[in-house]
Amino acid sequence: MSFPIGIFDSGVGGLSVARVLFDSFDNEIIYFADSVHLPYGNKSEKNILRYSLGNTRFLKEKGAKLVVVACNTSAAIALDSIRKNFPDRHVLGVVEPGAAKAIAQSVNKKIGVIGTVRTIESRIYVNELKRLNSDVKVFQKACPLLVPLIEEGFENEEIIDSIINEYLKNFVHSIDTLLLGCTHYPLLTRRIAKLYSWLKIIDSAEVMASGVSKFAESQSFSAHLKFTESRKKRLGQIKIYTNDVNEVFERLCKHFFPGIRFNLV
Ligand code: DGL
């Protein structure tokens, strides 16, 4: 039986998650970017919920058996409702695998979390990190300017450094680990690493392959996952859908998936 893996985000952020899963599994990958409603990060809970359910419905219609919510904002607000509304699909968010990696990496157990306004307000990372280790000290900060800057293609511009520093300056010298609680932020990893050389930076995309494997074991569907034996022999396919296109989406699509055309729906 084919077992496609669906992934959604509000825009380009989840493409990094899609790339990691595409490299790890031969299952068909279906990616949906809800670019029309971007950004999710400061929308009302009601709308984030509505968009997230719509995205899941779209992926289900395309055949996805596992839905990876590659948007922290959706995972923070809508994960439980998605699971309730789609009991016939497996649904995994990005929060748990990222939090587990941060706990494993941090030596002083002082962890910074950055994300969108709704993700930070929800305290989902604080709760998950504390569930994993009650002694951990979590410093969190919403960074609402970062997603628009990334979506505008400013991720490699020096101007973004002062904005990052403004957001992190109050706690960056206390922490040893910074969890990127928004799938857009990995595009800033190089700049953040240059600014604060001592930080371990946790990109939830990187841990999603093992996150999917562990989730599959816990839900007893591991037999449906086909692990890629070698990147050269990859058998899987990716289909990318978006409901709006801009120059940044085209550029990042080419960057993550050279030679693959996306579909406008
Ligand atoms: N990339 C998404 C996240 O992880 C959402 C960014 C946005 O649309 O504001 O939260």
Residue 109: CATH number of its domain: 3.40.50.1860
104 and 78 within one domain: no
pLDDT, mean of residues 158-177: 97
52 and 131 within one domain: no
Domain count, the chain: 2
| CA nearest to 4, candidates 33, 32, 27, 31 | 27
Quote the tokens at residue 182: 């928004």
Residue 154, domain extent: 96-204
> Which ligand 1 atom sits nearest the alpha carbon of residue 14?
1
Give the chain's radius of gyration (CA, Å): 17
Spatial distance between the Cα atoms of 20 and 211, rounded to a whole number of angstroms: 11
183, 208, 249, 252: residue to mutate for ligand 1 pocket, most atoms within 8 A of CB: 183
Q: Ligand 1, atom 2: nearest CA belongs to which residue?
A: 71
76 and 123 within one domain: no
151 and 69 within one domain: no
The finding on whether 71 has its CB within 6 A of some atom of ligand 1 is: yes
- Asked if 186 and 72 count as a contact pair (C-beta separation under 8 A), the reply is no
Count CB neighbours of 249 within 10 A.
20
Q: Looking at 98-102, 185-189, 214-218, 246-250, which range is the least confident one?
A: 246-250
199 and 125 within one domain: yes
Active site residue 71: yes
200 and 74 within one domain: no
208-258 pLDDT per residue, tens: 999 999 999 999 999 999 988 766 666 669 999 999 998 888 998 999 999
